[in-house]
Amino acid sequence: MSPRSLVQASIAALALASALPAAAQFAKPEDAIKYRQSALSVMAAHFGRVGAMVNGRVPFDAAMAQQNAEIATMMSSLPWQGFGAGTEGGKAKPEIWKESAKFKELSDDMNKKMVALNAAAKTGNLDNIKTAFGAVGGSCKTCHDAYRNQ
Amino acid sequence: MSPRSLVQASIAALALASALPAAAQFAKPEDAIKYRQSALSVMAAHFGRVGAMVNGRVPFDAAMAQQNAEIATMMSSLPWQGFGAGTEGGKAKPEIWKESAKFKELSDDMNKKMVALNAAAKTGNLDNIKTAFGAVGGSCKTCHDAYRNQ
């Protein structure tokens, strides 16, 4: 997939997320919780594989970095539809549902930075990837600090 | 994403899955188990939304069917990399690791049928979608009957 088609896929997924109320998407709040945790977990696995190269734990392999960044980017558009009204629970702090504009801003920020990581991975340049990876990591941390129980 | 780019994405993900030994992909067997369960769960959520239209539980919406089939198709290429050597556990029967050629055949079959569902969803014709959905469901069932503990 090109970065453009991934952006399009992200837009499509976000449109999907906002087009239906949570009740229509998930039969029970637990289903939404399981969904968002699963989507974040798959994203984290692929993001983490890029991180292993960034941190020198495994040798840099440009093709692997690209493939994993691509999957992480695709995944990054999905979790948010699992945070609909009435789906409080799991590790998510209740503030998410009180500060939905701020939560959306942070999730959009992460999406954008992940798309940038995907573009960086396509350059095949480890320094570019390191910078973009750090930006995504910072975005994850900001949101987790504010909205995730440890 | 076009069906072609999804097929390419599937091929890329499968190449990724086979290019690295499981040990290099997941630090611990539990990580692989969590990964495959999460990927299957996200796939099932989107496949299930198509199913809700196929079964008449929610009104047919061609755009929703398309978007969900697209995400399910993308997801359908991911779980298999979580079944590497030494990752027995969860609901997976140990036969998976003894009959890896058969397991691969069944997972490939599901991938192919999901790509066909994605193509059917793009036609916007509910009858096409029903037929293709049923084929995927049959493939899920065959594999679960053989390889998943209840």
Average pLDDT in chain B? 89
Give the per-residue pLDDT at B25: 81
Question: Residues of B with CB below 8 A from A121's CB?
Answer: none
Locus of tokens 């999905």 = A78
Residue A139 has pLDDT above 70, yes or no: yes
Of the candidates A122, A18, A147, A137, the one whose C-alpha atom is nearest the C-alpha of residue A77 is A18
**B36 vs A: CB within 8 A:** no
ipTM: 0.87
Give the per-residue pLDDT at B18: 47
Q: B interface mutation test: which of A71, A77, A78 has the most B CBs within 10 A? A: A71
Give the per-residue pLDDT at B1: 45
Give the per-residue pLDDT at B61: 96
**Helix H or strand E segment including A114:** helix A100-123
Give the per-residue pLDDT at B9: 57
Lowest average pLDDT, out of A3-12, A34-43, B48-57, goes to A3-12
What is chain B's length? 150
Query: Quick one: what percent of chain B has pLDDT higher than 70?
Result: 84
Per-residue confidence band for B24, with pLDDT thresholds at 50, 70 and 90: low
Give the per-residue pLDDT at A23: 42
pLDDT digits (tens, 9 = 90+) for A60-112: 999 999 999 999 999 999 999 999 999 999 999 999 999 999 999 999 999 99
Q: Taking the CB of residue A57, how many other CB atoms lie within 10 A of it?
A: 11
pTM of the model: 0.88
Dihedral, CA of residue B53, residue B54, residue B60 and residue B63, to nearest 10: 80
Question: Residues of A with CB below 8 A from B121's CB?
Answer: none
pLDDT digits (tens, 9 = 90+) for B28-48: 999 999 999 999 999 999 999
Q: Alpha helices of chain B — where are they, by DSSP H?
A: 3-19, 22-25, 29-54, 62-76, 95-98, 100-123, 126-147
Kindly identify which residue of chain B lies nearest to residue A18, measuring between CA atoms. B64
Of the candidates A18, A146, A35, the one whose C-alpha atom is nearest the C-alpha of residue A90 is A35
Give the per-residue pLDDT at B21: 46
Q: B interface mutation test: which of A38, A58, A60, A73 has the most B CBs within 10 A? A: A38
Distance CA B133, CA B40 (A): 16
End-to-end distance of chain B based on CA atoms, in angstroms? 35
Residue A25 has pLDDT above 50, yes or no: yes
pLDDT digits (tens, 9 = 90+) for B94-118: 999 999 999 999 999 999 999 999 9
Residue A58 · residue A117 · CB < 8 Å: no
Domains of chain B: 29-147 (1.20.120.10)
- At position A111, the amino acid (one-letter code) is N
Distance CA A13, CA A8 (A): 9
Binary contact (B19, A68; C-beta < 8 A)? no
pLDDT digits (tens, 9 = 90+) for B137-149: 999 999 999 999 9
- List all residues 6 or more positions away from A94 whose beta carbon is below 8 Å from its beta carbon: A88
Give the per-residue pLDDT at B10: 54
Average pLDDT in chain A? 89
Residue B3 has pLDDT above 70, yes or no: no
